[in-house]
Homo-oligomer: A and B are copies of this chain.
Amino acid sequence: MVDSVQGKKHKGLVIINTGEGKGKSTAAFGMMLRAWGRGMRVAAVQFIKGDTSKFGEHMAFEKMGVEVIPAGRGFTWTSHNLDVDAEKARHGWKVASEMILSRNYDVLVLDEITYPLRYGWIEVSDVIDVLGRREPMMHVVLTGRNAPQELVEFADLVTEMRPIKHPYAEQGITAQKGVEY
């Protein structure tokens, strides 16, 4: 879409928040907050956090009426599923790719998807294929350490969160409820 005033393009972005530092998922949730503020249709699929964990973001999104889906939700274990974590991740990707292609969302966060990508449970080429077929104005935000290079090349906006100072190792302080989870 071309803005007639500025001649600049509006388009849905593929955004990656990666790196060893804090703030990758948190910034993705901040984007969801913004989009929700504008009445856009937002959701997240979480690839690492447990099916039953209740973090501050879950409590918030529940209050806001925003869907946050654990990758393992709805996954059915059978004796063929030898590697449950891998199967849950693949199930999560199936759900996420259907959401991406449904045209029912303006912003979708794939939280910590880089881990199953790194483990080879989900194919990077599949993700790029589905992202390439999404509705052109849809934004997709992918988070996690060690984003695969092909995905970085495909993305529009990539930020590395670098730890400059981290309190836990140095000061024996634990993660703080409210700001970190």
On whether the beta carbons of B27 and A56 are closer than 8 Å, the reply is no
List B contacts of A33 (CB < 8 A).
Answer: 29-30, 33, 56-57, 60
List B contacts of A120 (CB < 8 A).
Answer: none
On whether the beta carbons of A19 and B162 are closer than 8 Å, the reply is yes
What separation, in Å, do the CA atoms of A161 and B9 have in the docked complex? 25
List B contacts of A6 (CB < 8 A).
Answer: 174
What separation, in Å, do the CA atoms of A31 and B180 have in the docked complex? 7
On whether the beta carbons of A159 and B56 are closer than 8 Å, the reply is no
List B contacts of A60 (CB < 8 A).
Answer: 33-34, 36-37
Whether A46 sits at the interface, judged by CB under 8 Å, is no
On whether the beta carbons of B26 and A31 are closer than 8 Å, the reply is yes
Whether A176 sits at the interface, judged by CB under 8 Å, is yes
List B contacts of A165 (CB < 8 A).
Answer: 152, 155-158
On whether the beta carbons of A38 and B59 are closer than 8 Å, the reply is yes
Whether A114 sits at the interface, judged by CB under 8 Å, is no
Of all chain B residues, the one with the shortest Cβ separation from A23 is B27
On whether the beta carbons of A173 and B156 are closer than 8 Å, the reply is yes
Whether A118 sits at the interface, judged by CB under 8 Å, is no
For chain A, residues 70 to 125, give those with C-beta under 8 angstroms from any C-beta of chain B.
Answer: 106-107
Add 12 more A-B contacts to A37-B56, A63-B64, A156-B173 (CB < 8 A): A9-B171, A15-B179, A18-B164, A23-B30, A26-B30, A33-B60, A34-B55, A34-B180, A37-B58, A107-B178, A139-B176, A158-B163
